[in-house]
Chain A
Amino acid sequence: AQKVTQAQTEISVVEKEDVTLDCVYETRDTTYYLFWYKQPPSGELVFLIRRNSFDEQNEISGRYSWNFQKSTSSFNFTITASQVVDSAVYFCALSEIGTALIFGKGTTLSVSS
């Protein structure tokens, strides 16, 4: 069973628009960790954020913000005032205790000027 679902395969926005990338996860564990990674065209995966299951506080880092809601098993990522440099594939990932990262299929974000 797929444990991390990123239903949006591709999103296209124009610069300065806000965009939200959705992530829904599935786990039976009470302790788990959620991640977001960015993969620009250069290929490397860049760590953006890690959240543990006991911390539902939303987080803001510059133009990036994350909304973690256990009630809906979602960990959504919003980019405010998007820029061309935000164009990349974004992966949501889940890690249960003692397991490897389980990635979603990714959302390709294209930001045009």
Chain B
Amino acid sequence: DAMVIQNPRYQVTQFGKPVTLSCSQTLNHNVMYWYQQKSSQAPKLLFHYYDKDFNNEADTPDNFQSRRPNTSFCFLDIRSPGLGDAAMYLCATSRGTGNLDEQYFGPGTRLTVT
């Protein structure tokens, strides 16, 4: 049974056209994360929510925003995608933010910017 679901798996958007990626979880975890993974690179944390508390990484561009309307769902909004934003976007969840809290990852959404 899928625990962290990401839709769509593949998304194509135009340069500058806003796009939203979605993530849902069936684990009832408190924390949801968004990572960006560019080709042949390691995943890089963009931000995370602990319940409704939003935590932005210092170097995450303002172009990236997130919403978490409830425990199960979290959205990644890219306001004006550039060619450099083409990447795999991974959503993850965990019970808490402690180091013993294993992160469960979704299958990712591969974003193409044309």
Interface residues of A (CB under 8 A from B): 32-33, 37, 42-47, 50, 52, 91, 95, 97-98, 100-101, 103-106
Contacts and interface: CB of A to CB of B under 8 A. Distances in A.
Interface string B77-114: 00000000000101010000101101111111010000
B108 A44 contact: yes
Contacts of A52: 99-100
B70 interface: no
A45 B102 contact: no
Contact of A45 (B9, B105, B110): B105
Contact of A105 (B41, B92, B107): B41
Given A91-B42, A104-B42, A105-B42, A43 B108 contact: yes
B57 interface: yes
Contacts of A100: 33, 45, 48, 57
Contact of B100 (A32, A46, A50): A50
Given A100-B45, A101-B45, A46 B99 contact: no
Nearest 8 CB-CB pairings of A with B:
A103-B42, A45-B105, A43-B108, A33-B99, A44-B107, A100-B45, A43-B107, A95-B99
Nearest to A53: B99
A37 to B, nearest CB: 8
A67 to B, nearest CB: 21
B4 to A, nearest CB: 8
A49 B41 CA distance: 21
Nearest to B88: A43
A45 B91 CA distance: 10
A50 B102 contact: yes
A42 B42 contact: no
B105 A46 contact: yes
A47 B103 contact: yes
Nearest to B102: A47
A16 B32 CA distance: 38
